[in-house]
Amino acid sequence: MKQVEVLIIGAGPAGLSAADILLEAGASVAIVDRSDRVGGQLTKQTHMFFGSQAHYASKRGIDILTILFDKIKHHPNLHMFTNTTVAGLYPDKVVACVQESRYFTLQAKAIIVATGASEKSLPFENNDLPGVYAAGAVQTLMNVYGVKPGDKVLMVGSGNIGLIVTYQLMQAGVIVPMLVEAAETISGYLVHASKIKRLGVDLRMRTSVKRALGTKHVEGAQIWQLDEQWQGIPGTEETIPVDTICLAVGLSPLTELLQQIGAEVTYINELGGHVPRLNDRFETTVDGVFACGDVAGIEEASSAMIAGTIAGLEAALKRGYKIENVAERRASLHASLATLRSGPHAAKIRKGHEKLGVKS
Amino acid sequence: MIEKTGVPSKEAVLEQFPERIVLVKPKAIIECYKEIPCNPCSTSCPFDAIHVPEDINVRPTIDFDACTGCGICVYHCPGLAITVMQVKDQKVMMKIPYEFTPLPKVGEQRNVLDRSGAVLTQGTITKVQTSPKQEKTALIHVEMDAAHLHDAITIEVTHGSHES
Ligand SMILES: Cc1cc2nc3c(=O)[nH]c(=O)nc-3n(C[C@H](O)[C@H](O)[C@H](O)COP(=O)(O)OP(=O)(O)OC[C@H]3O[C@@H](n4cnc5c(N)ncnc54)[C@H](O)[C@@H]3O)c2cc1C
Ligand code: SF4
Ligand code: SF4
């Protein structure tokens, strides 16, 4: 069995940031990602990012990715395994990997789980009809492969992902006549909502999809208004002629591997689902197994990068490496994270962390 | 109410404008109505006219005396929440960010839209600024009747018929 020092699962912003500081400290690092492209969600983000300029705000996701990866990609102590899925994590940090049809195992001294999240679906009649897509799939089609998912799209969900993907669809020449949201108010940043509203998108609150219309492919969507209990109100149905329904209804952390290795996880609605219990070194309840990024609670790339750096720093210290000015760096990383989580938009995250019993 | 519609109230919009006399020179109008963790407007301004404190959740504030109307913040703002406005000879000169292809051409007439997406009037494109520094956000200069100062926000998108 091949031995590796620190194994990072997931090459998104969290995993790459962890790798960067570990390599700097002198550790040897293996990164495994099931995709053929490095970068996780960043590969699909063609829009300018928010956040502090110190953390790449105003740059586009794909360009941030290039900056992150260029820093480390030629490092002699880095081993990349792309197209490789971690299928299992076992005691003694044995990692089962599948690369195409090849199966192999690695053994690590420390593991950082940065697997990100998967998209949630929405139950409605005919939701398996071709033409019903998750927002991530739509983004991959458009921004990675340059293919339009359809000509006319109904967007479901007013979080930042729904708002941003709507804008990206419009940039690709796709018509988005309407966006529906079950909640009473827009849940993403208002600047993103205003950006599509002024270009003519009808934003409907307290509205959801009742059924997808069509037999072989989506030919329309029947929407209806929701009452206070989020139940559809009969008689309020409307038919929207679209060929695509795009679901941007949330993400849930990919914690299966952590559960497999015996790390304690708790269901916290505000953080997207099951999340690991972490100490302030971002270590799970299993010694030497760390977690960071969306897998530890749905947030942002900006926070994923900082959390990844913290997890990497702590893993390096645990392996016995020295990091210059460690106290200062640690404090400043935690302070940046706290700032990102201090605004009104992060109220949900703060509440989730409170339930989990950690300080943000 | 902006939280439901994405359209700010008229009062909220007016609060972002300086007195009319100030707009004989071009000034940035910032429409960032809710706290978000974001600050490129402030860090990109070469004249230090926009301020966001250390706590980047705080909404940006602008010093109209310091603002030259250069438009740099307009294409650095990821929320596309900034325009530059000037009123001269009964005309509004507006600078907006634009991220669609094909870009409008100088001299072209385009529908000008208000914050709800309704067509207000026609405007004339007077300048189209692009540069590698701007990445993929162009700065478009549009001229229209001064009556639309407080309502104009962008131009209608037209997609080329032969796009790939
Ligand atoms: C439409 C959209 C817009 C966004 N806009 C912004 C924004 O403006 N600003 C911002 O800060 N954030 C934004 N985000 C959020 C940001 O992209 C994510 O929060 C961030 O990518 C999370 O980083 P991560 O490294 O935790 O996970 P990810 O980026 O999801 O990466 C996880 C990686 O793990 C891999 N993986 C998962 N399971 C396995 C396995 N079993 N084996 C091997 N590999 C595995 C995946 O292939 C993936 O590459 C946006 C997200 C979306 C979807
Ligand atoms: S227009 Fe120019 S001077 Fe005015 S705030 Fe923006 S960047 Fe600064
Ligand atoms: S850059 Fe734009 S979105 Fe960000 S704080 Fe400034 S005005 Fe608001």
Task: Report DSSP letters for B15-26, one per residue.
Answer: HTS--GGGGGS-
How far out from the chain centre does Cα A151 lie? Answer: 26
pLDDT of residue A53: 66
Q: CA-CA distance, B56 to B42, in Å (whole number)?
A: 10
Q: Which of A168, A190, A203 to mutate to test the interface with B (most CBs of B within 10 A)?
A: A190
Predicted interface score ipTM higher than 0.90: yes
Residue A25 region, left (φ>0) first, then alpha (ψ -120 to 50), else beta?
alpha
User: What atom of ligand 3 comes closest to residue A50's alpha carbon?
Assistant: 4
pLDDT of residue B160: 58
Q: Which domains does chain A have, with CATH numbers?
A: 2-118+251-356 (3.50.50.60), 121-247 (3.50.50.60)
Residue A301 near ligand 1, beta carbon < 6 Å: yes
* Residues B83, A195 contacting (CB under 8 angstroms): no
The pairing of beta strand A244-247 with beta strand A132-134 = parallel
Task: Judge: A339–B56 Cβ closer than 8 Å, yes or no.
Answer: yes
Confidence of residue B54 (pLDDT cuts 50, 70, 90): confident
Sheet holding A207-213, edge to edge: A207-213, A220-225, A238-240
Structure token digits, residue B127: 């300048």
**Residues 6 or more apart in contact with residue B142 via CB below 8 angstroms:** B93, B94, B95, B96, B110, B112, B123, B124, B125, B126, B152, B155
Taking contacts as CB-CB distances below 8 angstroms, the residues of chain A near B113 are 198-200
Give φ, ψ of A175 to 5 degrees. -90, 130
| Averaged pLDDT score across all residues of chain B | 94
Taking only the tens place, the pLDDT of each residue in A126-162 is 999 999 999 999 998 998 888 999 999 999 999 999 9
**Chain A touched by B132 (CB under 8 Å):** no
For ligand 3, the distance from its centroid to the CA atom of residue A71, given in whole angstroms, is 28
* Residues of chain A scoring pLDDT < 70: 51-55, 57, 359-360
pLDDT of residue A261: 96
Residue A236 near ligand 1, beta carbon < 6 Å: no
A192 min Cα distance to partner chain B (Å): 6
Q: Which residue of B has its CA nearest to A195?
A: B80
Of A171, A189, A344, the CB nearest to B79: A189
Task: Judge: B99–A201 Cβ closer than 8 Å, yes or no.
Answer: no
Residue B81 near ligand 3, beta carbon < 6 Å: yes
Q: CA-CA distance, A70 to A68, in Å (whole number)?
A: 6
Residue B56 near ligand 3, beta carbon < 6 Å: no
| Ligand closest in space to the Cα of A86 | 1
Taking contacts as CB-CB distances below 8 angstroms, the residues of chain B near A345 are 34-37
pLDDT of residue B132: 82
Residues at CB less than 6 angstroms from ligand 2? B 28, 45, 47, 49-50, 62, 67-73, 84
Taking contacts as CB-CB distances below 8 angstroms, the residues of chain B near A189 are 34, 36, 79
Task: Report DSSP letters for A97-130, one per residue.
Answer: EEETTEEEEEEEEEEEE---EEE-----BTTTST
Q: Which residue of B has its CA nearest to A193?
A: B6
pLDDT of residue A23: 98
Residue B41 near ligand 3, beta carbon < 6 Å: yes
3-state helix, strand, coil in chain A (%, to 5): 35, 30, 35
Residue B58 near ligand 3, beta carbon < 6 Å: no
Taking contacts as CB-CB distances below 8 angstroms, the residues of chain B near A200 are 113, 117
For ligand 2, the distance from its centroid to the CA atom of residue B134, given in whole angstroms, is 14
Q: Which residue of B has its CA nearest to A205?
A: B4
How buried is A61 (Cβ within 10 angstroms: 0-12 exposed, 13-18 middle, 19+ buried)? Answer: buried
Tally of structural domains, chain B: 1
How far out from the chain centre does Cα A22 lie? Answer: 22
* Residues of the domain holding B145: 2-163
Task: Judge: A340–B55 Cβ closer than 8 Å, yes or no.
Answer: no
Taking only the tens place, the pLDDT of each residue in B60-103 is 999 999 999 999 999 999 999 999 999 999 999 999 999 999 99
pLDDT of residue A357: 83
Taking contacts as CB-CB distances below 8 angstroms, the residues of chain A near B57 are 339, 342-344
pLDDT of residue A54: 67
Structure token digits, residue B99: 């991220």
Q: CA-CA distance, A166 to A178, in Å (whole number)?
A: 9
Q: What's the whole-number mean pLDDT along residues B139-155? A: 98
Taking contacts as CB-CB distances below 8 angstroms, the residues of chain A near B94 are none
pLDDT of residue A166: 97
Of A170, A171, A186, the CB nearest to B6: A186
pLDDT of residue A264: 97
Confidence of residue B162 (pLDDT cuts 50, 70, 90): very low
Task: Judge: A170–B115 Cβ closer than 8 Å, yes or no.
Answer: no
Kindly tell me if the per-residue pLDDT of B164 is higher than 50: no
Q: What's the whole-number mean pLDDT along residues B112-130? A: 97
Confidence of residue B161 (pLDDT cuts 50, 70, 90): very low
